[in-house]
Each structure stands twice: as C-alpha cells, then as structure tokens.
Structure 1
Amino acid sequence: MHRLVFLDLDDTLFQSHRKCPNDGELHPTAYLADGRAHSFMTARQRSLWQLLDDQSTLIPTTARDHDALRRVDLPFQSWCIIDYGGVILNPDGEPDSDWMARMEAYSHDSLDELNDLLDRMLTFVAREGLTIRARLIEDFGVPFYLVAKYRDARESDLDRLQDALAVPWLAERAGAYRLHRNGNNLAIIPRWLGKERAVRHLITRLGREWGELLTIGIGDSLIDGAFMAECDYAITPRGSQLFEATLSRVLI
C-alpha cells in the first residue's frame, strides 16, 4: 500500500524565527529571496520530517508559490501542490497541464472582481495611512487570490482593513469567496481555489495509477482542515490555529 502525506509547510513543518521556541537547536530551512534564512525547523520538526520521508511519499501542500517553494531547503521528490491548490507540479517539477487549464478558466472569471477589491484596498490603505501591503498572487502567469499583510507590528491595521472593507465585500458576493486570516496574512480566496480540491484530484489520480492508498493530511490553520478532511488521517501541531479551534476544547 502506498502512503501519501499531504503536508502543509509554514507553521506546520517550520516557522519564522520569532515563532520558534527559545530553547533548543534550530535548523534553517526556508530562505528569503536575498538568501537570508527566514524559517527554521526545531529538533522535533526535523524528527517528524525524517519519519515521514522514510516511510511515505511527501507531497507539500502549501500556499507558497513556485519561487517560494524553491527556497525551501528540503528534498521534495514527488508531486507538489502550491498556490493554495492553484498549481500541481508533477515529479519533474512541471505544472500539470490539465489542472492548469482548469485553473486558468476559473481565474479568468474572477479576475475583474479581485482587481476591484485590490483597488479598493489600496485606496483605503492610502486614505487611512495604514502600514499594509496588498497584492494579487500570480504564478505561471495565472492570478489566483489576493493577500494583504501588515508591517511594523501594526496588526490593528489589518483588523481595520478586514472589518471595514474585506468582510462587507465578501458578504456582497454570497459565498463566492472565503477569507483566511492567520497571523499577519489576510487572504481573499475564490471558492474554486483550494488545497482540498487539488488533494482530492491527486488522491483520485494516484489511486488509479498506484492502487490502494493510505493518505494523511498535516496542517496548522483552519483553512488546512478542508484538505486534511480529504485524507484517511489528520494531524495538526499542538498550539496551532486548528488545534486551538478543535482539540484544545476537549482538554481537561
């Protein structure tokens, strides 16, 4: 039986230095575009990686784009799911053409609305003097979703943008988009885009090609729950956003 592990990366397998524990050795794992180490694995995370890598096929399932994935210093050797499921890379590192064609068609239908929201955000940020950077995330020439991040530790700026602009905009569109907020990330994601859709697609495809599968989903945030629910088993780090919303409630 083939074992597939669909594995979120940031805040699951590694995290930025400020989120790391103060004790214990840290191993640099992901880097900024200028080459500086940005994210690190703890000893426990490295042990988890080694266990999974020895016993299964690891499929990173991440919001990172292709460039950001290449700056992760881990030897992924199989399929990869990136851009919240917008792109599926085959084991040769090339986008799956059928999946890309499907995503391009969906993206075309959402682009005007996402550009409209981006314009509104940039106008609001400038008018209110907020320390926020907002942009559309594109990969392989396809726009996927919108993300806004606060700077200079001014989290309240992102709260204002979310409450005053993003939430009402979403309400006007009757569930066509979803909001994901975790730390300094605010993402507006079309419903056609999702890690769970790409995971479901790969499970079906690889099941036909490889036979019976055991699937495991590992992630940290609420939005990861959807792709983890596609798998036979689900794992989340203690203290994660998903843990706090679920398992922590049954602790005695």
Structure 2
Amino acid sequence: MPLRVGVMTPIVFSDLDDTLFQTLRKCPDEGDGLKVMSTLLDGSPSGYSTPRQQAMLAWLSSGRLIPVTARSTVVLARVDIAQAPAICSNGGCIVLENGGLDLLWHDRLAEQARCDHAVHDVHRSLTETLDDEMFRHWVVAENGLPLYVVIKSNAGSTGELAELAEHHRALVPTGWRRHVNGNNLAYMPGWLNKRHAVGYMIGKIRAAEPDRPILGVGDSLSDVGFMDLCDFAIAPTGSQFWRAATSNSDWLS
C-alpha cells in the first residue's frame, strides 16, 4: 500500500551487518533470491540480503535511513546502500547529508581522545604476543583519528576469540568496553559509542522536527545504546540482541 500524501515518514537509524544483510554462511540454506549487498576490497561478494531483508530495507528507506555501523567510511563505500548521512566506525565519524564529514563531531572526539589512553598503545599491548597465523588485527581510524581495536580469528573461531577476550581482561584500560559478536572482537574507549553519535544527531533532528518518529534497528548488544534513544526499536529475531532479550522469558513456550 503506497504512503498517503502528508504522512510523516520516520527517521531510521539502522545497523547494517547481520541486520540488513549478512555473510553467505549465515543466510538460510535455501538461499533463493539473495542479493549481493557488500563486497570485499577485491570486489568479491561479502554480504547478502534475503528477499525479506530486501523488502525491509525498501520499507525503511521510505523514511530517511541513516546507517549506524562499525564499518569505516571506506568500507561503507562497498555497501549497496545510501552513503549519506551516516554514522561510521562505531560513532567515530558522522557523514553529513552532503557527503562531507561533521568536523565539529570529529574535533569533539579528538579532544576526548587526548585525555585517554592512546588507541595504538592499547592495540600494541593487546596484540604484541598474538600469533599472526591465528589472528588478524588492526586499528580503525577516521580522518587521522585512531578510534578502536579490532581482532578477528583467521579460522573464524568464536571460541578462540572468547578465550582471547578473557586473557585480555587485565590488559584493557579502565573505562574501555569490549564487544564480542561472531568473529569480531573489538575494544573501544569510553568516548567512542554509537549512542553518543546518534544522540548528537537526534538533538539536531528534534530541534527541526520535534514530532518526527525515530526508529532504531540493530542486532547486537552494542546497538542497544543507540536504539534506546529512539522512539521505537526493531531487532532481527535470532540476533545477539534478541537472544539476550528473550533468554529468561517465560512467554516463549
């Protein structure tokens, strides 16, 4: 059914990976109607959406869709989705509607970073004894500002990452957060948060359009922070977020 003229469409802050698309391994076995949504640096496919996800994306895009992603701006460019506005690198970079960077936001984070442990120093401490045949790791940065540490298992072993995360417990600076989801282990300083970036953008939206509904869409526990700021929240069933939300429910039998 087409939208009626005059209906106020929502602002949609949405995570991408494992929300609107995922790797082929995570897709349903039948795999019919899959669409390539993201590619690797060499151009090979890396993410696919199911027909239902494609319909969901089309529905969300009837409003103003704003990606909120751990992907950097460079990696977001390899996703088949509107690129601006967007929140990238777990809140470390805001892309304005005209495609430029929000330098006020960048400068705010840079000032906070100067008062904390250097990200590269933390990266070195966490990875200097790692076996490079088992793990790959790097620092995500935007516009010259180091933001957070990523570690992945070369074998795709979530068990190896869980053990590594426990080993790191004593090495992580106070105030830093650890996020584990699938084959992804990330360490983020307290000043870096999707919630902070979304809150900053919502403040601007509310000033201009106080009654416009805002939706938050995400799959992981790290998305809860920004989804909590929205009027309504949507999560894929079967996601990390949904498993946590339903783990002690008496209403699923």
| Structure 1 and Structure 2 fold alike (TM over 0.5) | yes
1:147 counterpart SS class: strand
1:143 matches 2:146: yes
2:116 counterpart SS class: helix
Alpha-carbon separation, structure 1, partners of 2:59 and 2:156:
36
Tell me the matched-pair count.
243
Q: Greater share of helix residues, 1 or 2?
A: 1
Query: 1:248: how far off?
Result: 5.0
* 1:60-112 deviation line (CA, Å, top 9, x unaligned): 00010001111001234x42111101111111111111111101112233353
- Partner AA of 1:37 in structure 2: P
1:237 counterpart SS class: coil
Alpha-carbon separation, structure 1, partners of 2:157 and 2:180:
15
Query: 1:116: how far off?
Result: 2.8
1:100 matches 2:121: no
Map residues 61-210 of structure 1 onto 2, 5 A cutoff. Answer: 61-76=68-83, 78-112=84-118, 114-126=119-131, 131-164=134-167, 166-170=168-172, 173-174=173-174, 176-210=175-209
Is contact 1:131–1:154 with CA below 8 Å preserved after alignment?
A: no
Is contact 2:157–2:183 with CA below 8 Å preserved after alignment?
A: no
TM-score (norm 1): 0.91
Is contact 1:111–1:143 with CA below 8 Å preserved after alignment?
A: no
Map residues 225-244 of structure 1 onto 2, 5 A cutoff. Answer: 225-244=224-243
Alpha-carbon separation, structure 2, partners of 1:198 and 1:31:
26
Q: 1:82 to 1:120 in 2, by over 3 A?
A: same
Alpha-carbon separation, structure 1, partners of 2:245 and 2:226:
16
Is contact 2:176–2:187 with CA below 8 Å preserved after alignment?
A: yes
2:213 counterpart SS class: strand
**Structure 1 outlier segments of 4+, above 6 Å:** none
2:141 counterpart SS class: strand
Q: Greater share of strand residues, 1 or 2?
A: 1
- Partner AA of 1:92 in structure 2: N
**1:9 maps to what in 2?**
16
- Partner AA of 2:187 in structure 1: I
1:46 matches 2:45: no
Structure 1 alignment gaps of length 5 or more:
none
Query: 1:130: how far off?
Result: 5.9
Structure 2 alignment gaps of length 5 or more:
1-7
